[in-house]
Structures are given as structure tokens and as C-alpha cells.
Amino acid sequence: MDSSRKLGRLGISSSVIRKFGKAIAESLFAVLIGLLGGALLMLAYGYDALRAYRALFLGSFGDLNGFLETLAFATPLILTALTFGIGVRAGLFNIGAEGQMYLGAIGAVMIGGALSLPPGIHLAAATLFAMLLGALWSIPVALLKIFRGVHEVVSTIMLNWVSFWLAMYLITYHLAEPGRAERAIPAQETARYMVIGASLTTVFIVAIGFALLTYFILWRTTIGYELRLVGYNPDTARYAGISIMKATVISFFIGGLAAGLAGATQVLGRPPSWTVYATMGNLVNLGFEGIGVSLIGRNHPIGIILAAIFYGGFLHGGRFMEFEVGVASELVRAINGIIIIALAMPELLNILKRVRRRRRPT
């Protein structure tokens, strides 16, 4: 009883605790299902599943160096997952993080690699410009939805491809490193985040800070309340005088900022290359993988941080499954996919329920 009063004074109700406990239980059950599914797949191909999983978890979390590398893998995923999660909270399916991230990376190269500025100012300018380009790339999607009724899934997929080829063109013909046509100009020393260990830099702290800021905006501001109300019931929001147009633009803009920052993390904060390749090889699929991370984290900024670290461990530890156990790289990706699908399924079902509820006639 005393503990309940204390939690109540902190603003935490018993219903919130029950909901949190249910989410933890569902996630643990999904982890077991995913691991079992992956183990069956490995057994079918003659691999030792216990040895493979041991290599995966020890490689990702078994020592400090492995854990730091896991955090490096998680950094861009936190941000691309936020892009999708913010959209879902506003009732949108923003799957444009991939393209917005490409533009963010190009922006980081333009300022961080091609310009010379004083230390500190250089890093801040490159980061902010990358975020701005990512956000601006998301605005046409919002405008097409508002004024022409174009579904955001269609427009974001199209703009992802436009962004990919535009970035490739700019790198090949305008931003290529002299003598290295396959990649863009690396970020200068004054535009690089400080290395903490392995390939983890202080940009991880920036990503965490952005996630916490997103949480504050969504749950502690009027704008955030309006976004969530529009996502929960647009008719109620409209009746309350909330502008659906404004909520849509703000949602895409914040999501674009996150995706642009994700692109910057791979240029300004990911040694040893400190750049982006013409094929987008160090960026490809990070936007789409963020969708799964967001679903695992229940589209909540705090949950997304934890989910990204978990998934980052699978990306990093999967290499140890190849090196130490000999599991084929394609099979490692398939196993990761099974586990991620199992973890994402509960939230995906919740989203479908909310969509069905919104479309139900009143």
C-alpha cells in the first residue's frame, strides 16, 4: 500500500505498472520464441545452436570492447527507429527514414568534409545541417498527404529511391575523395566526434539525448499530446480543435531530423572511414531495420533505446557466429530476422488494432 502511494506521488499509476509488466512478459516470451525458431533453423542446417548463440552473446556483451561495438551498431538504429515511432504515435507510417538518412549523410559530408571551420563550430554545423536536410526531405511527403491525399507509404518509398540515386550522383561527381572515386570526402578532424572505444564515439550520447528529448516532447508538451491524440483518434482531435495538418507536418519534420542525424552518425561518428560510400554500403537498410527496432521498443523512445542496443548486439554478435561456429552469413541474417519478427509481432498487432478502431464507424 505504501509503495503504491509513493508511485502515485511520482505520477505512476497501477495501470501503467500493469501495462509495463505485460509488455515485459510479452517481450520475454517473444525472445524465447525467436531464439527457439533460430535454433531450429540452425539445427536443420547442421549447426550447433548452443555454440552459435554463446558466440553471439559473448561477442556482443561478453567484454567491454564488444559492448562498445554493440553500442556503435545501435546508434543509428535508435534514430531511424524514432523516425518510424514518432510517425506511428501520430497515426502515420513513415518508412522514409532510409532516404532521409542518405540526405543527412550527404549533408554531413558537405559541411564536415568539404568545408573548413573552427573546431566545435565545425562539428555542430555539420550535425545540424545533416539533420536539416533529413527533415526537409520529409516535408514533401507531409504536403502530398495533406493536399493530395497521397499515402505516406507510397511517397516515402518513392523518395527513398530518389534519395539513393541523388546521393550516389553527388558522391560520384561532386563530393568524391580525390583518388578514391568510390567514396565521399571523409569528415575533417574538426568535424569528428570523439572516440570512446572500438568504433563508438560520443555521437552515441547525442543519439540518446535526441531520444530523451523526443520522449519529453511527446509526453510532456502540448504539441506531443496533440500528436498522440491525432494518432489515437483523429476525429476526436479534430473535434477538440487540433490541426491535423500541423500534427502531420510536425511529425514528419521531427522524424526527418532523427533520420538526418542517423546519417550524420555514420559520417561524423563512425571510424575508421568517417565517410559514406557511393554504394551507400555503410548506410543501406539502417532505415528499414529501424522499423523493426521501433516495433520491438513499442514505438516508445525509451523502449527504442533498449531495443536498438539489443538488436545492435545481434548485428555485431552475428559476425562471431560466422567466425567461431561457421554459420553462413545469410543464415545469420535469417536467424536475426526470425528473432526480430517474433519480438516485433506484439506491437504490430497493437498497431493493427488501433488502425481498425480508428476506421470503425462511430
Query: Is the pLDDT assigned to residue 1 strictly greater than 70?
Result: no
Which residues, 6+ apart, have CB-to-CB distance to 158 below 8 Å?
Answer: none
Residue 12 forms part of a structural domain = no
Query: Is the pLDDT assigned to residue 72 strictly greater than 80?
Result: yes
Mean pLDDT of 228-256: 93
Residue 56 forms part of a structural domain = yes
Residue 231 forms part of a structural domain = yes
Query: Is the pLDDT assigned to residue 197 strictly greater than 70?
Result: yes
Which amino acid, one-letter code, is at 339? I
Query: Is the pLDDT assigned to residue 272 strictly greater than 50?
Result: yes
DSSP track, 167-235? HHHHHHHTSEETTEEEEEPPPPGGG-PPEEETTEETHHHHHHHHHHHHHHHHHHSHHHHHHHHHHH-HH
Q: Kindly state the greatest CA–CA separation across the chain.
A: 70
The pLDDT assigned to 357 comes to 64
Higher-scoring residue by pLDDT: 341, 84: 84
The pLDDT assigned to 344 comes to 81
Burial class (CB in 10 A: 0-12, 13-18, 19+), 274: buried
Mean pLDDT of 339-348: 80
DSSP track, 261-292? HHHHHHHHSSTTT-S-BTT-TTTTTHHHHHHH
Residue 62 forms part of a structural domain = yes
Q: Which CATH number is 242's domain given?
A: 1.10.3470
Which amino acid, one-letter code, is at 157? I
Query: Is the pLDDT assigned to residue 11 strictly greater than 90?
Result: no
Residue 97 forms part of a structural domain = yes
Q: Which residue has the cell 535526441?
A: 210
Q: How many domains does the chain have?
A: 1
pLDDT in tens, 139-148: 999 999 999 9
Residue 24 forms part of a structural domain = no
pLDDT in tens, 173-193: 999 999 888 899 999 999 999
The pLDDT assigned to 302 comes to 94
The pLDDT assigned to 322 comes to 85
Domain range spanning residue 300?
48-359
Higher-scoring residue by pLDDT: 331, 352: 331
Q: What percent of the chain has pLDDT over 70?
A: 92
Long-range contacts of 209-212 (CB under 8 A, 24+ apart): 210/78, 210/79, 210/82, 210/257, 210/258, 210/261, 211/78, 211/79, 211/82, 211/301, 211/302, 211/304, 211/305, 212/301
Residue 31 forms part of a structural domain = no
The pLDDT assigned to 359 comes to 62
The pLDDT assigned to 324 comes to 86
Residue 11 forms part of a structural domain = no
The pLDDT assigned to 29 comes to 81
Spatial separation of the C-alpha atoms in residues 213 and 238, rounded to whole Å: 26
Cell numbers representing residue 336 in the block: 536475426
Which residues, 6+ apart, have CB-to-CB distance to 186 below 8 Å?
Answer: 113, 177, 273, 274, 275
Mean pLDDT of 4-24: 61
Cell numbers representing residue 12 in the block: 505512476
